[in-house]
Structure formats: C-alpha cells, structure tokens
Amino acid sequence: MDAELKLLADTGLLVTEAEEALDTGDPGPARAALDRADEGLAELRRRWPALSGAQRGVVGAAAGPMRARLDTARARLPRQVALTDGAPERDPEEEAEPGAPG
C-alpha cells in the first residue's frame, strides 16, 4: 500500500504543478504534467484489483478528488489549433526519379 500512496502523492504533485503552470499562463508544462498525472492514475487503476477493500477505500477517497482536479485543469488548457487552413502544395520533384531530368 505504501507504493500506491506514494504514486498517489506523486500524481497529486503533478496536478499541482499543472495548476500552477496554468495560473502563470504557461500551458506547455501544464499539458506535460497533466499527461504524466493521467499515467499515474492509470497505473493506480491497474493496481486496483490487487488492493484490499480497506486499501481501496483509502486510495479511492483520494483519487476521486484528484481526478476532478486533473479534469478541471485539463479543461483550462487552451485548445490546440492549426495555424493555417489550406491544401498541401505538391512538389513536382517528389514523383521524379533521382537523376531524371526535370
């Protein structure tokens, strides 16, 4: 159970790191921290079947609010959009054999 509590604490620190990055207007590190926090919660889900009922109670009580914080922080991330809309330009040399006259 110590390993699960440490993983839960590390995941919580990642969520806090993301929240602080978002508060300062820096979404890059926030996005990376949230991705790592998602991985931490996924690992806890993988370990869930091996936990006893009492252990599940402790981990579940902390993981639920942490998931809510993570989801709230992720909702604060700015949307990633393409810089331009348009069709790709074809390169006439793309189809040419190497060394062929052009």
| Pairwise CA distance, residues 81 & 26, whole Å | 17
Specify if 85 maps to a domain. Answer: no
pLDDT of 91 strictly over 90: no
Token pair for 76:
């604060």
How high is the pLDDT of residue 48? 94
Specify if 99 maps to a domain. Answer: no
Specify if 70 maps to a domain. Answer: yes
Specify if 102 maps to a domain. Answer: no
Specify if 53 maps to a domain. Answer: yes
Residue 42 near residue 75 (C-beta atoms within 8 A): no
Residue with tokens 């009492």: 54
How high is the pLDDT of residue 87? 75
For the chain, how many structural domains are there in total? 1
pLDDT of 96 strictly over 90: no
pLDDT of 102 strictly over 60: no
Give the range of the structural domain holding residue 63, as residue numbers without chain letter.
2-76
